[in-house]
Amino acid sequence: GQQVMQIPQYQHVQEGEDFTTYCNSSTTLSNIQWYKQRPGGHPVFLIQLVKSGEVKKQKRLTFQFGEAKKNSSLHITATQTTDVGTYFCARSYNTDKLIFGTGTRLQVFP
């Protein structure tokens, strides 16, 4: 029940196209975090969602938390080459640890 699945595992897009990654859990989540890891870099926090149905935007990035709090998505509008990297969702478990999703690796072709 701890595992968080992300789909797709990989996504290649042309610059300017949209991109979405989905995070799914079999159990209700208290919150969900999103991180981005550039190639050769380290995970960097993007956002945290707490409320059912919550939607948050950061420029071209839109984050959603499902009504049942079992899934979340990250949508990027009009991708740019700077969006390249691996996007992880992460759920907290028993307050003691963060369980990271399997990640979606995004490649953007100019």
Partner 1 sequence: DTAVSQTPKYLVTQMGNDKSIKCEQNLGHDTMYWYKQDSKKFLKIMFSYNNKELIINETVPNRFSPKSPDKAHLNLHINSLELGDSAVYFCASSQGFAKNIQYFGAGTRLSVL
**Under the rule (CB under 8 A), what is the footprint of partner 1?**
30-31, 33, 37, 41-45, 48, 86, 88, 92-93, 95-100, 102-103, 105
Q: How far is the CB of 81 from partner 1 (least distance, A)?
A: 20
Q: How far is the CB of 73 from partner 1 (least distance, A)?
A: 19
In this complex, which beta carbon is closest to partner 1, that of residue 44 or of residue 78?
A: 44
Find the Cα–Cα–Cα–Cα dihedral 107, 42, 77, 48, rounded to 10°: 150
Q: Distance between CA atoms of 108 and 14, rounded to whole angstroms? A: 6
Q: How far is the CB of 31 from partner 1 (least distance, A)?
A: 6
* DSSP notation for 35-73: EEE-TTS-EEEEEEE-STT-EEEETTEEEEE-TTSSEEE
In this complex, which beta carbon is closest to partner 1, that of residue 77 or of residue 107?
A: 107
